[in-house]
Amino acid sequence: MSVAEGDLAPNFEMPATGGRTVSLAGLSGKPFVLYFYPKADTPGCTKEACAFQEALPQLGHIGLDVIGVSPDKMKPIEKFAEKFSLTFPLASDETKTVAEAYGTWVEKSMYGRKYMGMERSTFLVDKDGKIAKIWRKVSVTGHAAAVLQAAQALG
């Protein structure tokens, strides 16, 4: 299953850093960014998370929340958030239910071996709960800036 731009954002509720819980219901009426990353504290994921952290003041200025999602357990996610002083919620989707709903839990292959894994993807959801923009197979460099630009265009 995969979602498309213009679709309603699939429902979710996950535990997040700092003892928080993030849910679609809790974000009702607010635009937000939901981004999926493969693994906490790996080079690409660290670079992406730090870029979103740097963009937070501008994203916050336009009323946008950012939530990072990985299949990791809460403990490594908490350590990752602490290590890089990430203040936005990082959520744990251990069951991969949310990733499957957003179509980011996909078959990957490395060195000819096929396996299931998290596709680095970002979803910009508008205040009405509709998916305004989707980035799949994200290349980290410049990504947070592209998300910010699209978010500003939401108005």
Question: Which one of the listed residues 40, 45, 64, 148 is annotated catalytic?
Answer: 45
Q: The pTM is what?
A: 0.95
CA nearest neighbour of 122 among 141, 142, 137, 110: 137
CA 89 – CA 144 distance, rounded (Å) = 16
Q: Are 122 and 135 in contact (CB under 8 A)?
A: yes
Where residue 2 falls among pLDDT bands split at 50, 70, 90?
A: confident
The mean pLDDT value for 26-36 works out to 95
Structure tokens at 27: 């974000």
CA 17 – CA 66 distance, rounded (Å) = 13
Question: Mean of the per-residue pLDDT values for the chain?
Answer: 95
Q: What is the pLDDT of residues 39-90, one digit of tens each?
A: 999 999 999 999 999 999 999 899 999 999 999 999 999 999 999 999 999 9
Q: Helix 43-61 vs helix 74-83: angle between axes, to the nearest 10 degrees? A: 70
pLDDT cut 70: percent of the chain above it: 99
Where residue 1 falls among pLDDT bands split at 50, 70, 90?
A: low
Fold of the domain spanning 13-154: Glutaredoxin (3.40.30)
Give yes or no: 50 in active site. no
